[in-house]
Amino acid sequence: MTEIKPHAAHWGSYDAVVRDGRVVGVRPFHRDPFPGSLIEAVPDVVHAACRVDRPHIRKGWLEGRRKGALRGGDPFIPVSWDRAVRLVAEETRRVRAEHGPTSIFGGSYGWSSAGRFHHARSQLQRFLGLGGGYTGQINAYSYAAAQALLPHILGTNEVLLGRTTDWAAITRHSKVMLCLGGLPLRNGFVTSGAAGVHSNEINLRRAAEAGLRFIQISPNRADVPDWCSAEWVPIRPGSDTAMLLAMAHVIIAAGREDRDYLATRCVGWDKLRAYVAGESDGVAKTPEWAEPITTIPAATIRRIALELADNPAMLTATWSLQRADYGEQPYWMLAALAAMLGKIGKPGEGVAYGYGSVNGMGEPRHEVPSFSMPATRNPTGAFIPVARITDMLENPGGAYDFNGRTQNYPDARIIWWAGGNPFHHHQDLNRMLRAWAQAETIIIQEQHWTAAARHADIVLPATTTLERNDIASSGRDRFVRAMHKAIDPVGQARNDHDILADIAEELGFRDRFTEQRNEDAWLRHLFEQWRQNCARLGYDTPDFDSFWAKGWWEADPPTHGQEYTQFAQFRLDPEEHPLDTPSGKVELFSETIASFRYNDAPGHPVWIEPREWLGGEQAQRFPLHLLSFQPATRLHGQLDPGRVAAADKIEGREPITLNPEDAAERGIAPGDIVRVFNDRGACLGGLRTDPGLMRGVAMMATGAWYDPLEPGVPGSLCVHGNPNVLTPDIGTSRLGQGPSAQSCLVQVEKWTEALPPVRAHVPPPIEEATA
Ligand SMILES: Nc1nc2c(c(=O)[nH]1)N[C@H]1C(S)=C(S)[C@@H](COP(=O)(O)OP(=O)(O)OC[C@H]3O[C@@H](n4cnc5c(=O)[nH]c(N)nc54)[C@H](O)[C@@H]3O)O[C@H]1N2
Ligand SMILES: Nc1nc2c(c(=O)[nH]1)N[C@H]1C(S)=C(S)[C@@H](COP(=O)(O)OP(=O)(O)OC[C@H]3O[C@@H](n4cnc5c(=O)[nH]c(N)nc54)[C@H](O)[C@@H]3O)O[C@H]1N2
Ligand SMILES: [Mo]
């Protein structure tokens, strides 16, 4: 019998086709004009051979090899749920008693599922919070540098992830859009919390048809679709700040800065102007100065700067720009450029970040409350900046700077993850693998034998969304979707909520955790709360049963032509509608940031040479700049065992793209397997070439599961192609402490040895217990 079950994921809304207890296919949600292909991988992934079928414990951990032991090389022993739950509860109780609650690291960064009740990270943090507290993580890998910076200079992070100037306004009023990093459509197939409609292509096509001129500043031609007819200006990675400073120089030289705007709506112009002119450091930031840094001809910089001054324009940058050394600086300077041209708050003009980074950016936003699980307070209040996990493990108690504060790392004894994959997302994995040894116990709740599961001590098998009922919702989308349970749990997998409820029972707080509700009662309860929030804003919503039967709800469709410009009121009346900055104005110089006295993030935007880039010394040994971008064929590591990712690989290895001349120089050709390496590590990749990629740049997507030739041995070759064995793990600056994966140099050579098998998608060695 065939059944059709409405469902949703970060990669789209769909109906699951179920036959004989298996998901055998998917059909895109009928309302989505651009569903994309990612959903096609769902049946493969749900029924993958690498599902964790039972609870498992690392043999070495059971034998007492805990703190100091390198993980990844031991076999696992399957255990009963009872035993696993008891061991986890005992270990949690012991570590809390001996070392205090902050010694449980439960940051658990990661995307988890689109379903908002079963959202694994929220469930884990609720459990840890109610149980006495833990150490969390603040901000996101996506844009940590920006999250620290933007409140200081624009008073809000809405300009990064919230209600930005929308496409209707941009298309109506702007003539030019300056796109640093382009507007890659591939990233628009993803929305955290699921989309009913993938809207990026709709909005971009409308803008292109209306004649908006796109100027694309990026190393990769493919970052803007051909039909946008963008002007492509290749730029050396990591050098955008220099280009922006030179544009400012041109505008000042031409007397085109908006003096009234600068005087009434900005602070710090004198200091920034003096820096641009070279009065404060002896270096005038002219286009001729920027040309050798950026490789962009001075004449091009001059022409584009004047074009921005002459025309209504929107300035934007992808999030990738700030996941790099001193990643705060290009973001600050882009805002400064928009401000000095008087654009911030003009209809359809200004600055915002991420129109090409995720689905739904710039889509008209309605004040529709998201369906969500309320956050639980962490009684310790302790956290580390999101990407400082290896630093934390290496320096228990050590002091570090972050956004004006000096904090100390906790002494983490337990590492606990649910819904994230540090062996996907973190940089310099060989260094992390060594630091991992500092933990006494590593617990992971996972569906698959990901690298994070293989490097854990206790592995608890979790259901996928298709094995449970839930509701998906995103602040970026006007649909709320029912996610019907389609199949029974695979193997002994259990819902994260149920796993944690049982552990809470051992620890004596089951009822506080569950509030005595089961899944159905929770969904109804959360739905009722959501309905009340909707009613307050005047939305008509169905009752739970009608919603569930229909499978989706849509907020009143947006009226196209209605437009929103962020900061419009501030521009019209800065006294009445000040920004939420200390001065109430755009801060071109921030007294607050200056008072931190960080040489890697001073009081106004500056050009600082990245630690690793093509303009530096290291480029002699490692002459290719590696951009490890978001994968078109997956969501991070999720869906990697599926057909979409598999079809893109070359002999099972993640593709790496070079300019054809860079390939020819190395005697390698498309289809070859290559070794990509630097002093931090090495991985294999399958070669592709593209003349639309700048010379000296290599692109390799993230997300192929880490697969070391010798598991458990730091420095071992990753035979599958995870670029995070190559990337540096250094905070963007003391201000943001964000990840700086994009500042990475490598060399590439032909792989001439026999090709080792990829074992990432089969379970690790498992020993059946004899007892
Ligand atoms: N080099 C480099 N590295 C990067 C980036 C880059 O650009 N370059 N980008 C960074 C960015 S922006 C991000 S957001 C991160 C993403 O990093 P992550 O969000 O950690 O990556 P995912 O692969 O999505 O990991 C989610 C994991 O949760 C599991 N999971 C899903 N649903 C459930 C569930 O219901 N229960 C449980 N228990 N588990 C579940 C999935 O199986 C998967 O393994 O990567 C970062 N890393
Ligand atoms: N299909 C798919 N979509 C996704 C995701 C996914 O895993 N799969 N992940 C989602 C997540 S979590 C996030 S945070 C977003 C991230 O969104 P982004 O951070 O915007 O995405 P990236 O693909 O890393 O980078 C976009 C482009 O930036 C350009 N670029 C890199 N460095 C530089 C530079 O120094 N200067 C300039 N001018 N350009 C540069 C590169 O050419 C690259 O193609 O994507 C989201 N969308
Ligand atoms: Mo992200």
Q: Which two tokens stand for residue 487?
A: 């199949």
Q: How many CB atoms are located within 10 Å of the residue 185 CB? A: 21
Atom of ligand 2 nearest to the CA of 219: 42
Neighbours of ion ligand 3 (CB under 5 A): 142
Q: Which amino acid makes up residue 114?
A: A
Sign for the pseudo-dihedral over CA of 740, 745, 747, 748? positive
CA 5, CA 8: separation in Å to the nearest integer?
10
pLDDT confidence of residue 768: 86
Q: Ligand 1 in contact with 71 (CB < 6 A)? A: no
d(CA 180, CA 351): 11
pLDDT at 562: 79
The predicted pLDDT at position 475 comes to 83
Residues with C-beta less than 6 Å from any ligand 2 atom = 142, 180-182, 184, 186-187, 189-190, 217-220, 223, 235, 237-238, 240, 318-321, 324, 356-358, 627, 629-632, 634-636, 742
Output the residue whose Cα is nearest ligand 2's atom 47: 187
Q: Cα-flanking dihedrals φ and ψ of residue 15, to 5°?
A: -105, 130
Residue of 447, 494, 706, 727 with the most ligand 1 atoms within 8 Å of its CB, for mutation: 447
In whole angstroms, how far apart are CA 769 and each of 58, 75, 76, 79, 172? Answer: 12, 11, 9, 8, 68
Residues β-bridged to residue 698: 626
> What pLDDT does residue 578 have?
98
CB 708 within 8 A of CB 72: yes
Q: Which of 11, 14, 61, 109 is catalytic?
A: 109
- Residue 143 token pair: 């844009």
Ligand 2 centroid – CA 133 distance (Å): 34
The stretches in the chain having pLDDT less than 50 are 771
Residue-wise DSSP of 563-586 = ---TTHHHHH-TTTS--SSTTSSE
Question: What are the tokens at 476?
Answer: 């970026």
81 catalytic per annotation? no
CA distance 135 to 91: 16
Which pLDDT belongs to residue 481? 96
Expressed in angstroms, the distance from the first to the final Cα of the chain is 42
Q: Do residues 10 and 196 make contact, with C-beta atoms less than 8 angstroms apart?
A: no
| pLDDT single digits (tens) 224-253 | 999 999 999 999 999 999 999 999 999 999
Q: Which residues contact 665 (CB under 8 A, 6 or more apart)?
A: none
Helices (H), 467-509: 496-507
Q: Which of 14, 61, 111, 289 is catalytic?
A: 111
For residue 313, the surrounding DSSP H or E stretch is strand 313-317
User: Among 421, 455, 640, 729, which residue has the most ligand 1 atoms within 8 Å of its CB, making it the best to mutate?
Assistant: 421
Centre of ligand 3 from the C-alpha of residue 321, in Å:
13
Q: Which domains does the chain have, with CATH numbers?
A: 145-367+564-596 (3.40.228.10), 617-750 (2.40.40.20)
What distance in angstroms lies between residue 192's CA and the mean position of ligand 3's atoms? Answer: 9
Looking at residue 558, what is its pLDDT? 57
What one-character-per-residue DSSP string does 653-670 give? B-EEEE-HHHHHHTT--T
How confident is the model at residue 556, as a pLDDT?
Answer: 78
Query: Is ligand 1 within 6 A of the CB of residue 680?
Result: no
Ligand 1 atom with the shortest distance to the CA of 447: 42
Cα of 108 vs centre of ligand 3, distance in Å, is 14
The per-residue DSSP string of 109-172 comes to -S---SBSSS-HHHHHHHHHHHTT--EEEES-TTTHHHHHHHHHHTS-SHHHHSSPPPHHHHHH
Cβ–Cβ < 8 Å for 286, 249: yes
Q: With CA atoms as reference, report the closest residue to 460 among 496, 489, 424, 436.
A: 496
